[in-house]
């Protein structure tokens, strides 16, 4: 970088786009180096879109019932799921974010509920949680 130039890769651009769309970001198990898990949630009334960013092997995204009182980080059933153990080769964080951000809105398309794959959500101790909302002004 020269003279204050900023480099943004595709992952950064997809995270920024998720923020612009209104995803609320949650940091789990933070330490002085950052969070172990970063999860974004976009609520659509009774449905929530969730992305869980851990590492290249544990990152996944899903659409789940997510009304008031529902724990969107421990879903038992999902309408849609995509992640590294989805059977697809070369699935990456970028592909997972792309897939999530290109889903139709729930009023356009909502497949039937299926059991959530093992490991869906944020596992283990989920306290403390830091919540960060970024306001975008245009």
Of 25 and 31, more confident: 25
Average pLDDT, the chain: 84
Under the banding of pLDDT at 50, 70 and 90, the label for residue 17 is: very high
User: Which sequence spans correspond to the domains of the chain?
Assistant: 10-132
**For 104, which DSSP code?**
P
pLDDT digits (tens, 9 = 90+) for 72-111: 999 999 999 999 765 566 788 999 999 999 999 999 989 9
**Phi, psi for 7 (deg, rounded to 5):** -100, 130
Its pTM stands at 0.82
Report the alpha-carbon distance of residue 27 to residue 103 in Å, rounded: 24
pLDDT of 130 over the 70 cut: no
What is the C-alpha to C-alpha distance for residues 82 and 100, in angstroms, rounded to an integer? 8
Q: For 62-76, what is the mean pLDDT? A: 87
């Amino acid at each position: 970088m020269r003279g204050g130039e900023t480099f943004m890769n595709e992952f950064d651009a997809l995270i920024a786009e998720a923020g612009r769309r209104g995803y609320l970001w949650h940091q789990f198990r933070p330490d002085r180096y950052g969070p172990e898990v970063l999860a974004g949630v976009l609520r659509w009334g009774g449905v929530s879109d969730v992305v869980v960013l851990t590492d290249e092997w544990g990152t996944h995204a899903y659409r789940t019932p997510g009304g008031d009182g529902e724990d969107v980080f421990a879903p038992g059933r999902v309408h849609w799921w995509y992640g590294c153990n989805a059977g697809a080769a070369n699935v990456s964080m970028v592909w997972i974010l792309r897939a999530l951000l290109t889903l139709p809105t729930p009023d356009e398309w909502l497949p039937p509920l299926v059991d959530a794959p093992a490991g869906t959500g944020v596992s283990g101790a989920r306290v403390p949680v830091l919540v960060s909302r970024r306001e975008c002004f245009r």
